[in-house]
């Protein structure tokens, strides 16, 4: 099986308040690969993953309910989400909530 070729995976801590939060800014020449998102909301709310203005996934979470998404099972190094060049990786948090966690991502040129 051929693997996706991308840069070294980076893990970054994330504290994201209500609204749209650019986690990794898009560039003209690179894809953003999101391998893992883990964390929780401090109150009941909604967490969405966006590539630019396109919603890729949404979860309704209760306060303290943990969330973990990771690479596609059975596909070595295949990221869960891909952002095209020039599209930001955004976490959208519902009003009154804050997301606390971490994101694992890589860049593909």
Reported as a pLDDT band with limits 50, 70 and 90, residue 72 is low
> Per-residue pLDDT averaged across 14-41, rounded?
96
Residue 101 inside a domain? The answer is: yes
> Per-residue pLDDT averaged across 1-16, rounded?
76
Residue 70 inside a domain? The answer is: yes
Give, in order, the Cα–Cα distances in Å from 15 to each of 5, 54, 98, 100: 29, 22, 7, 5
Reported as a pLDDT band with limits 50, 70 and 90, residue 40 is very high
Quick one: pLDDT at residue 70?
83
Interatomic CA distance for residues 18 and 49, integer angstroms: 13
- 73-105 pLDDT, tens per residue? 666 678 899 999 999 999 999 999 999 999 999
Residue 6 inside a domain? The answer is: no
**CATH code assigned at 96:** 2.60.120
Total domain count, the chain:
1
Domain that holds residue 34: 14-108
């Amino acid at each position: 099986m051929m693997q996706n070729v991308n840069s070294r995976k980076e893990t970054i801590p994330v504290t994201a308040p209500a609204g749209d939060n650019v986690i990794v800014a898009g560039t003209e020449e690179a894809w953003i690969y999101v391998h893992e998102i883990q964390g929780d909301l401090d109150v009941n709310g909604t967490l969405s993953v966006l590539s630019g203005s396109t919603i890729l996934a949404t979860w309704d979470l209760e306060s303290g309910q943990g969330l973990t998404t990771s690479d596609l099972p059975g596909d070595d190094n295949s990221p869960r989400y891909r952002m095209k060049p020039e599209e930001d990786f955004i976490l959208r948090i519902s009003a009154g909530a804050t997301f606390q966690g971490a994101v694992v991502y890589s860049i593909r040129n």
